[in-house]
């Protein structure tokens, strides 16, 4: 079904208010969930909302907890998320990174003891809207086998990179696994095969069957050994910059919480003229788009997001019937 964006925000905010969120925090948190589904990433938007509410009820997410500054080192700061809502902690951290970038050209925030940030691209778009280059990532529980291993030993540690562009920002949001778990879940529910092998089944055979990967199999790192190595490096840097936990430490926590994240912003407005920035980005994007045509035409990262966002604004946000029903069942007036 398709639901108007504003209707989604109102319902989600009411549910959050009923579960300990103040109005000033319920609305922006609801918007971040709705934004993900509005932009076509249901797996990290409304699909995760009921689970998020469960985490709140179980005490793993503390509705009114906010990040506190732990250490200030010029352009780099460490903050403790105090197990507050991951979406709000992440938004505040990227906001602080852009403030530091205004002062130092670059700003870096290491955030520890926080919760799942849901759709990481939200914070890339946030940096780009502020006119900054943005880079952010999070570590996760161990949910991927390192290359050559047969047991989970690294996280899929999503990485986001954003570049401002007047005609639509360029925003990359990628997990270190061949496919994010959210997309695997979507394919498992629909029965649609993955476009390429995304993991192995319980017998160790590569497969495009998402259900087989999730049921006793394991995901493959993107680029095989390259994704495996990058996952480890992102994990290490996130823990070292934030002073927080690594994937190894998070492995002992059930459910996943107390993750470590990094938010970096670069403000080049004092170095590059706006015309130079636009020319560089536009020429690069045009070069990519000219490399194919028809159904196989390439797209730059973030291009599909803009068209989906416009469609959602006009026709409503796609929401799976069963997901919307689960959310409505959480409404305080039931």
- CA–CA distance, 90 with 75 (Å, rounded to integer): 18
C-beta atoms surrounding 324 within 10 Å: 16
Per the CB < 8 A criterion, the answer to whether 154 and 275 are in contact is no
Per the CB < 8 A criterion, the answer to whether 162 and 171 are in contact is yes
- CA–CA distance, 188 with 13 (Å, rounded to integer): 29
- CA–CA distance, 227 with 55 (Å, rounded to integer): 29
C-beta atoms surrounding 6 within 10 Å: 9
- Catalytic annotation, residues: 44
- Best CA proximity match to 240, nearest among 232, 228, 229: 232
Residue for token digits 């695997």? 184
3-class DSSP state of 77: strand
Radius of gyration of the chain (CA): 20
**Would you say how long the chain is, in residues?**
334
């Amino acid at each position: 079904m398709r639901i108007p964006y504003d209707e989604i925000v109102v319902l989600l905010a009411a549910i959050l208010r009923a579960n300990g969120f103040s109005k000033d925090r319920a609305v922006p948190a609801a918007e971040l969930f709705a934004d993900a589904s509005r932009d076509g990433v249901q797996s990290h938007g409304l699909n995760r909302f009921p689970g998020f509410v469960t985490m709140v009820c179980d005490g793993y997410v503390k509705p009114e907890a906010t990040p506190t500054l732990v250490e200030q080192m010029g352009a780099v700061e460490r903050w403790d998320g105090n197990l507050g809502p991951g979406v709000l902690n992440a938004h505040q951290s990227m906001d602080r990174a852009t403030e530091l970038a205004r002062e130092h050209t670059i700003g870096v925030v290491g955030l520890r003891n926080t919760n799942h940030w849901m759709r990481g691209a939200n914070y890339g778009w946030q940096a780009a809207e502020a006119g900054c280059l943005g880079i952010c990532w999070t570590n996760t529980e161990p949910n991927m086998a390192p290359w050559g291993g047969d047991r989970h030993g690294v996280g899929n540690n999503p990485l986001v990179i954003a570049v401002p562009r007047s005609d639509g920002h360029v925003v990359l949001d990628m997990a270190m696994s061949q496919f994010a778990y959210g997309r695997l879940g979507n394919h498992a529910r629909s029965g649609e095969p993955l476009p390429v092998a995304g993991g192995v089944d319980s017998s160790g055979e590569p497969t495009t069957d998402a259900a087989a990967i999730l049921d006793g199999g394991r995901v493959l790192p993107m680029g095989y050994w390259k994704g495996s190595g990058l996952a480890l490096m992102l994990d290490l840097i996130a823990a070292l910059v934030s002073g927080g936990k690594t994937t190894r430490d998070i492995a002992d926590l059930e459910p996943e919480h107390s993750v470590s994240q990094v938010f970096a912003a670069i403000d080049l407005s004092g170095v590059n003229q706006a015309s130079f920035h636009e020319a560089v980005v536009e020429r690069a994007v045009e070069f990519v788009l000219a490399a194919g045509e028809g159904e196989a035409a390439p797209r730059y990262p973030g291009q599909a997001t803009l068209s989906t966002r416009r469609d959602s604004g006009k026709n409503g946000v796609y929401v799976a019937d069963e997901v919307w029903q689960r959310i409505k069942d959480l409404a305080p007036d039931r």
